[in-house]
Amino acid sequence: MKLRRPVIGIPTQTLQAMDGIPEGLPLSWVMNQRYYLVAAAVGGVPWMIPLIEDLATLREIYDRLDGVLLAGGVDMNPATYGETRTPLCGAIDPARDQVELQLTRWAVAEGKPILGICRGLQVINVAMGGSLFQDVAAECDDAIKHDYFPTAGWQRDHLAHDVTLTQDARLEQALGARRIAVNSMHHQGIDRLGEGLRVAAIAPDGLIEGIESPHHPYLVAVQWHPESMATDHSFRILKPFIEVCSNSRT
């Protein structure tokens, strides 16, 4: 009998929360296709999750998933980690915050595999009680440049800096190296690490760039964008996640 491929839920974002999108349009939910394409390429069945307010309906969606992938996007609302929003914080998407935090908390509590990419790392950290820098450059004296945004002319696959991977962490095992070069498209980052998480990768300036939970079947997140890097790198990051989703299906 042919095995069913695991269903990977990838939440969307509100179109109007993105830079350059005029207000006043009917609300729309969208997401970069790269996440769905790479999830399918490594054996998953990507599923777009709407930012629906009805908790019962969201739970029905969650129950049908074999894993959750949290993608990149706009800044998290500092209110989600108990801070006042400052001018350093960029555009926010409260509906997305609500949905992704809820999905993460369910996945953490129930042991459902979860992978975070860029903003996804920040969502997981906040869901676990951690906090963020609203702007790394302004709040960290020794910060290197992390904001190589495509809107400023940088290519999404530009290798901006190295990260050092924690020995025996899932990321180190997946990538087979202790140091790798990564792209970088963020200006926020982890300040206080969430409860039950450990550092899996760190930038030259000390900023946490990878996290995992040793107490969870599969909870891994990276601050960079593997979906926009070389195919081999993308596969090495996503393949173990998809394999655990396949093996944990009930």
The residue annotated as part of the active site, out of 146, 161, 186, 225, is 225
| Contacts of 6 by beta carbon, 8 Å cutoff, 6+ apart | 43, 44, 45, 66, 67, 242, 245, 246, 249
Rg from Cα positions in the chain? 17
243: annotated active-site residue: no
Looking at residue 229, the DSSP 8-state letter turns out to be: S
| Contacts of 109 by beta carbon, 8 Å cutoff, 6+ apart | none
Angle at 58 between CA 85 and CA 42, to 5 degrees: 90
How far apart CA 134 and CA 188 sit, in angstroms, is 5
The residue annotated as part of the active site, out of 118, 161, 216, 245, is 118
How far apart CA 103 and CA 93 sit, in angstroms, is 16
Q: Are strands 67-70 and 208-212 parallel, antiparallel or unpaired?
A: unpaired
The residue annotated as part of the active site, out of 172, 227, 233, 245, is 227
The answer to whether the beta carbons of residues 51 and 96 sit under 8 Å apart is: yes
The residue among 6, 47, 35, 33 whose CA lies nearest residue 237 is 35
| C-alpha count within 13 angstroms, C-beta hemisphere, residue 162 | 7
The residue among 94, 92, 119, 114 whose CA lies nearest residue 104 is 114
118: annotated active-site residue: yes
Which residue shows structure tokens 């040793």?
214
How far apart CA 134 and CA 191 sit, in angstroms, is 9
172: annotated active-site residue: no
Please name every residue paired with 164 in a beta bridge, in sequence order, or none if there are none: 179, 202
- Residues assigned a catalytic role: 118, 225, 227
